[in-house]
Structure 1
Amino acid sequence: MSAKSTGVDIKLMGGLFLIVGAVDLVIIVMFPSYALKLFGTIVTGPLSFPAKLHSPAVHLLIGYGFLWLRPWAWGLSLAYAGFGLASEALNQLAFGFHPVRSGFMVTTALFIIYLYSRRRLFTDQPGMPTTGPSVSEGSH
């Protein structure tokens, strides 16, 4: 079987999302005073710790969904990628250009394009056949 039909590429990405989520959680626990930059603001104070936990939680959910090719994982990953792009664009406007974060934005945009091209892996229904008469031709 090819990666195209089984989604091995997406499942591997799922494994990577699980690893990133776990590492992110460890970093947040080890450095609880880290001030998160989100949508052009710096989140500090007692609510900053739970606010930072959104990242590992979503990464772990996406990882699980990608491993099992769950339809909701496709939408969640696209929404979270859009969230990340919007937040980082505002951060760059508020705090200035940063080359590493700009690289994050470029790779996230490429991820969105790739994921969109693999969207049929996440459907509950098998793909429709591409041969045969079209619906508009009708039956005679």
Structure 2
Amino acid sequence: MNSPFDLRAALLSILLPGLGQLSQGRRFHALAACLATLLLVALSVWLGRITDRAVEVLVFMVLALPCWVLQSYDAYLGMSPNTPDWLRTWRIIWQRGHDIRFLGMLLLISVLNDTWIILTNLDYLLPFYCTKPDGIPGFAIKAISPALHLAVGYGFVRLRRWALFIYLVYATYGFTNGVVNLTCFGPGRIRNTLLGTIVLSTAYILWRRGTLLKNDSLGSG
């Protein structure tokens, strides 16, 4: 199938990486998509076994899942008549800011996860700059994270300029809070993973800040 917008192929590649490309007769791309995605999934599982569950989730979210989404989008775009398929796909993602939108979707998903954790662990006191407030202040502090995730996630999905400012506020709060708590409570796997994630994601967002500052919306497709 040579249609540039092949929804059926995209859905097939969501079910099994490379299946959409295979349905389009792109056997090499199908094999490459399948192997790359499954290897990254296996890598995340292996790292989780030798380190920690948080590392497994992090590697899956920043490597395996983007690869899965990328190959599905490639299947949706179909066969490229002029340039190599993967190069064409990445150029479109880069130009239209789909990578920022993907980060936004991850943040929106994290809102559900954060909310679930808060509601099922009401007695847990979240460290806040070397303190552990309880009661209403403690609940309000726990609500900061999902609230900021929701705002930044929506802004990234919509490619809004203001999302960059709110993200920098969120990153500053998360990093300083994490470092201060590190000095008081010592290192922890979740705390260390969070700090590393903030540093890497902030570096990427600053690198791609032009996508958010250039236009409020770059269109869809």
TM over 0.5: yes
Question: What TM bracket, shorter-length normalisation?
Answer: 0.7 to 0.9
Pick aligned residue for 2:150 from 60, 84, 89: 60
Whole-angstrom distance in 2 between the partners of 1:60 and 1:115: 17
Q: Secondary structure at the match of 2:148?
A: helix
Residue 114 (structure 1) aligned with residue 204 (structure 2) = yes
Whole-angstrom distance in 2 between the partners of 1:114 and 1:31: 32
- Which has the larger strand fraction? 1
Q: Residue 26 of structure 1 aligns with which residue?
A: 116
- Tell me which moved more, 25-34 or 43-52: 43-52
Q: Residue 133 of structure 1 aligns with which residue?
A: none
Whole-angstrom distance in 1 between the partners of 2:127 and 2:170: 16
Letter matched to residue 25 of structure 1: T
In structure 2, runs of 5+ residues without a counterpart are: 1-90, 217-221
- Tell me which moved more, 117-126 or 80-89: 117-126
Q: Residue 40 of structure 1 aligns with which residue?
A: 130
Letter matched to residue 142 of structure 2: K
Whole-angstrom distance in 1 between the partners of 2:143 and 2:194: 20
Q: Residue 106 of structure 2 aligns with which residue?
A: 16
Larger RCO (alpha carbons 8 Å, 6+ apart): 1
TM superposition shift of 1:96 = 1.1
Q: Secondary structure at the match of 2:132?
A: strand
Pick aligned residue for 1:5 from 81, 84, 95: 95
Percent of pairs identical after alignment?
33
Provide the aligned C-alpha RMSD in A: 1.6
In structure 2, relative to structure 1, the CA distance for the partners of 1:97 and 1:125 (3 Å cut) is closer
Whole-angstrom distance in 1 between the partners of 2:187 and 2:117: 24
**8 Å CA contact 1:13, 1:63 repeated in 2:** yes
In structure 2, relative to structure 1, the CA distance for the partners of 1:34 and 1:18 (3 Å cut) is same
TM superposition shift of 1:51 = 2.2
Q: Secondary structure at the match of 1:20?
A: helix
Per-residue Cα deviation, 1:79-110 (whole angstroms, up to 9, x for no partner):
21111110010001011122431222122111
- Tell me which moved more, 43-52 or 33-42: 43-52
Q: Residue 81 of structure 1 aligns with which residue?
A: 171
TM superposition shift of 1:52 = 1.2
**8 Å CA contact 2:128, 2:141 repeated in 1:** no
Give the 4+ runs in structure 1 shifted more than 2 A.
Answer: none
TM superposition shift of 1:113 = 0.8
TM-score scaled by length of structure 1: 0.83
